[in-house]
Amino acid sequence: MGLFPRPMGEGKGEGAAFTLAEGATHVGNCANYRKSAFTLAEVLITLAIIGVVAAMTIPTLVANYQEKSWGTAATVFERKLTEAMRVMNANATLAGHSTTESFVNELAKNFKTTKICANDKLQDCFSSEVTYGNEAVDMTKVKKAKHFGQDEWGTEIIGTQFANGTTALIAYNPKCSQDPYSNTITGSDCLAILYDTTGYKTPNTSGKDLRANGNVQSLGGSSCAFEIDGTCFGMPFQANSAHTWNACDSSTNTSTDAEDQAYMQKYGLDYCYPGNDYFAKAAETCGGTSKMAQMSDLATIANHIYGRTDIDEKTDNYSLSISVDPTSLGFPSPSFWVWSGEESSSDMHYAYNRNFYSGSTEWGDSTRYNSRGWAVCLGD
């Protein structure tokens, strides 16, 4: 060994040569390396694809969000209204009013209200034009209970703005009933109410932001809240008000009482129930069993909601998915069930219905004293 070490890389034999060759190869790879990147064309194509996907999905997402928000707002409003009427019922202030204005002033004591509009200034509280079913309705011509289809009430409509932003038109039934000793009577026969969960904001359309209870049987002459395959349906309502018979025989589900018989004939009822008969009241609300949606009509609604064509009036269908949000038609979100106008002849305590769930729908029957059912009338 000399006084100075050999320079790095020097050596003897094959080992040194291999080291030099490996080093040379490494240097060569570094020299030939090039960075990769997207071209302008690739970026533009990617942006175009993102734009197309966004254009296809965002409107659907926005529509679903709007429908859900309308349904939620309607549920909250109806719960607050029911709570207020329960308090009025308990305080014996639900019935006994001769005018709608008197009732609304009493309601305002239990449901926070920001504005009450007299009959000649309804548009200070409510939009001047709405879409009810497929028809545009001039609300300046909607003034009296008869414009809600309640010809016998004889009262005027009063406008109301509630503190939560909901606007409403209310007609009161002077024959409203109550039971101050019962917390289950909410006075659903007391008022017809058309309300808009978004106030003056659009779309002002039935089944969307515009909702009504079952006593709004028509609107300014239009009785069609929504239409499916040419069939006109009124606004759905929860049948939570009952008819009480004078002398219904529990063994035959019929009555020999003249008033009971006249009622049955008027509304097309074959049977009665000796107690709270919610089915009979639903038939009365629609103007008779023949004017209630029949089992075939409920199958039509089911096919529309689930996006199918194979649901028949007496079939059970499973593994389904919601295609049309029921709240857009005025129903609650699943689960719920709807009475048909068809009574059961095998068990007179029952009437046929259809159940709606998030992933299935079934036909069946329910006791006439069940207050959780919904009903929908057939429009003209």
pLDDT digits (tens, 9 = 90+) for 17-58: 444 444 444 444 544 555 667 888 888 888 888 888 877 777
At 87, the pLDDT band (50, 70, 90 cuts) reads very high
Can you give the pLDDT at residue 185?
A: 65
Residue 339's closest CA among 380, 311, 379, 301?
301
CA distance 236 to 136: 19
CA distance 357 to 130: 30
pLDDT digits (tens, 9 = 90+) for 89-98: 999 999 999 9
For residue 376, is pLDDT > 90?
A: yes
Can you give the pLDDT at residue 62?
A: 65
Tokens (6 digits) for 4: 């100075």
Can you give the pLDDT at residue 181?
A: 78
pLDDT digits (tens, 9 = 90+) for 153-212: 999 999 999 999 999 999 999 998 888 777 666 677 899 999 999 998 989 998 889 998
CA distance 199 to 165: 6
Mean pLDDT, all residues of the chain: 86
pLDDT digits (tens, 9 = 90+) for 312-370: 999 999 999 999 989 888 888 889 999 999 999 889 999 999 999 999 999 999 999 99
CA distance 89 to 95: 8
Dihedral sign for Cα 220, 222, 223, 224, please: negative
The full DSSP string for 10-48 is --SHHHHHHHHHHHHHHHHHHHH-------HHHHHHHHH
Tokens (6 digits) for 56: 């296809």
Tokens (6 digits) for 225: 């809240």
Can you give the pLDDT at residue 12?
A: 39
Assess contact for 239 and 282: CB atoms under 8 A: yes
pLDDT greater at residue 30 or residue 295: 295
CA distance 314 to 330: 23
At 2, the pLDDT band (50, 70, 90 cuts) reads very low
Does residue 277 come out as left (phi exceeding 0), alpha (psi in the -120 to 50 range) or beta? beta
pTM above 0.75, yes or no: no
For residue 134, is pLDDT > 80?
A: no
Q: Which of 73-82, 150-159, 261-270, 325-334 has the lowest mean pLDDT?
A: 325-334
Cα 137 to chain center, whole Å? 21
CA distance 192 to 216: 5
